[in-house]
Structure 1
Amino acid sequence: MAPTGTDDHHAPVAPEKDPSPEHAAAHGDGTAETSRDQTGIKDIEEGSRAYRPGGFHPVYIGDVYASRYKILNKIGYGAYSTVWLVRDLSKPDDDEHKFRALKVLSAEAYSPDKPIFEREILTHLRDGDRRQLGYRYVCHLVDDFEHNGPNGTHVCLVFELMGETLRSFGAWFKESMIPYPVMRRFAIQLLLALDFAHEHNVIHTDIKPDNIFVKFRDPSLIESKYLASVPVPQQNKAEERYSPIPSRPLRYFYFNEEDSRRVVEFDIALGDWGVSSWITHHLTERIQPVALRAPEVLIGAPWDQSTDLWNLGALLLELYRAVRMFDGRVPPDGHYEVKQHIAEIVDLFGPFPKELLEKGNQEIVKDIFDEDGKPRGFQPLGRV
């Protein structure tokens, strides 16, 4: 589908090219990428090396999981999972929820040396207070089960389908910028989602464009457009080594032309809770995308749910105007340095409070800060 729009900046227009992310998050927001592994074999997306004991599970079109979910096509992949469009065979043909997203985690994702809380947190959020406004802006777990395969036991998570992530959504608009009325709506919904999570003792810790999903506007397009026009990859179950197949994302098949003129009515959901933490029990102390890290995380101080709000605040500018608030890059090669990142924060918001510095890792604090709460040798950066 190639939605069209008017000259109104609020209407989506077809992008010049598909702005695929470096890798897709859950529910598929990427297109095929190719590389060559050390053996010279041409790989697709996650690469054939991911299919090893403890790694990814080989999934084939037509497979049925949990006696219920039939694999239709691959719609995404990530560092620890592949994501598939499935038909829920327990649903009648006229049920709009008959199609779901199945996320198959690597066998090692839940291994003793890599504990994560994703399934437990998703179950907790799904069973939370539905009366809270933020409940509807979380990408909820529909079902979960375990599947035994040649590479181990895999946790499988079933989700409601989403259209695309905000990593690519901006490309529907002129100059790749999400218009203000839409961005304002999304920002409110994200705040409501975080409020809901925090009220339920959960911290997301990884808020980035890849993890924010635009909801389906017209589920009928899955059958009438996607399945009717998107090619199904050919696979050979007799192959000695599993061959990954390219993702076929749902990006062009979740809203119609009428919806394209009412984009201010679109909704989002906060997803990918794979590295989320409990407020009272952290998965790790090193959290957040590097350029979006909160000050307390940068200096090794204790952190709580407020870090999600910093993360979101820094992200909004990037989503709205395609400009990063902070990046921490230094010349001549543009590599990242914590001191530069801190200098950018000080330049915009002023010195770090003494009370915060006292709580941080003192090796970091003494190495970077002067007695005024600024990086040693700090000079105003003159940024607008």
Structure 2
Amino acid sequence: MATPRGGTVAHGADPGDIDEGRDAYRPGGFHPVYVEDVYADKYKILNKIGYGVYSTVWLVKDLTKLDDDEHKFLALKVLSAESYNVDKPIFEREILTHLRDGDRRQLGYKYVCHLVDDFEHQGPNGTHVCLVFELMGETLRTFGAWFKESIFHIKPDNIFVKFRDRPLIESGYLVNVPIPQQDRAEERYTPVQAIPLRRYYFGESDSTRVSEFDIARADWGVSSWATQHLTERIQPVALRAPEVLIEAPWDKTVDWWNLGALLLELYCAVRMFDGRVPPDGHYELKEHVAEIVDLFGPFPKVLLEKGNQDLVRSIFDDEGKPKDTPPGTGPPLASEGYMPGLSQEARDEFASFLKAMMKINPAERPSIEDLLSHPWVGLRFRTL
């Protein structure tokens, strides 16, 4: 599955991933960070644990915390100087502040990796916004490798597994992981390899207790406000809402569609759409549209009129279906093919919920309150 523009390969990155490259360290680009540096007079750099299009991420120790404080280790995200100094800056700091200062009683509050601190740092390449977070474990991108029966097809880099055994940072990671050797006198900064915290956030004996792990949503670097957009091409390709696919205006209800596709994959380990065609499995928009129509019906004219008309005319017929494409032969949504291992009653209820939130016409998608009153959601709460 393709990744959204500019995501961060954070704590859970594969150890073999290449670094961000020297060219990222230029005026307006990344800040050269060295182990042992201290930021904001309190955050001491220990090692690099991630990087992305807009930032590098570092394991730090809060020097104001006592040695026995389990929260003395944190993650410091250093954004590129241009992130907040261009015509269309990212909104990460503002969105994180909004989430952190929200109602802590909301059900989803504890499932967000919240901002601990933020500040600005002046360096040779400009002024860098720095974000400090509670330290997370690895992301679902690599977490599934611990359990052979678990498969995650989604874009899982932004869903973190929370720490269970914090002392392993000091007794394991800081003991066994090599500290990068850096030359402060070098004329041009050399990036160091990111070594994530994988293996050092829970004991190996805990790997069988998957159901007891908590997760948190993180990395809001490419997020947008409903009324102020960083970019119009949002969401991982296979999770894109119909209005995004046809380049029509979108609002917050794109998240309804995105969530529906994610739920099926998280709950049943089945991918709803991928848009791939033989023989080489490359992505085609027309195939993606056909998959959507097969499950949820034709695109309504009122939506197609708002899209890119050149694109719409090239793909759709007068009935809102993809041109010259035979009717789908795939199973219905509430089938064993999409929802293996569930009773027919459970499949029907789950499919009803997905069809309610994944209306092709965004104007027909229900409110959050209506979705929360759906029987399938009620069943999930009763089993928690």
Bin of the TM-score, shorter chain as denominator length: 0.7 to 0.9
In the TM superposition, residue 257 of structure 1 has moved relative to its aligned partner by 4.0
- For residue 203 of structure 2, what is the aligned residue in structure 1? 256
The letter for the 2-side match of 1:168 is T
Correspondences of 1:1-384 after superposition (within 5 Å)? 25-34=9-18, 45-177=19-151, 208-319=155-266, 324-384=271-331
Match of 1:188 in 2: none
Distance 2:147 2:188 in 1: 42
CA shift for structure 1 position 365: 2.2
- Sort the Cα spacing of 1:163 and 1:64 in 2 relative to 1 into closer, same or farther, 3 A: same
Q: Which runs of 5+ in 1 are unaligned?
A: 1-21, 35-44, 179-206
- Give the Å deviation of 1:151: 1.1
- The answer as to whether partners of 1:25 and 1:272 remain within 8 angstroms in 2 is no
From the superposition, tell whether residues 338 and 261 of structure 1 become closer, same or farther in structure 2 (CA, over 3 Å): closer
Aligned Cα root-mean-square deviation (Å): 2.2
CA shift digits 1:133-164 (9 cap, x unpaired): 11110111111111111111111110111101
Do 1:140 and 1:160's aligned partners in 2 also have CA atoms closer than 8 Å? yes
Deviation at 1:76, TM superposition (A): 0.7
Note the alpha carbon deviations across 1:102-134, whole angstroms, 9 max, x for none. 001111111223411111111111111111111
Do the aligned partners of 1:301 and 1:359 also contact (CA within 8 Å) in 2? yes
1:181 counterpart residue number: none
Are the aligned partners of 1:23 and 1:30 in contact in 2 as well (CA < 8 Å)?
Answer: no
Offset, 1:64: 0.4
TM-score in terms of structure 1 length: 0.79
Letter in 1 for 2:14: G
Between 66-75 and 327-336, report the one with greater CA deviation.
327-336
- Greater length-normalized contact order (CA 8 Å, ≥ 6 residues apart): 1
Counterpart residue identity of residue 54, structure 2: Y
Alignment partners' CA distance in 2, 1:334 and 1:113: 37
Partner Cα separation in structure 1 for residue 100 and residue 307 of structure 2: 35
What is the alpha-carbon distance in structure 2 between the residues aligned to residue 294 and residue 54 of structure 1? Answer: 33
8 Å contact from structure 1 (residues 352, 373) kept in 2: yes
How many residues are aligned here? 326
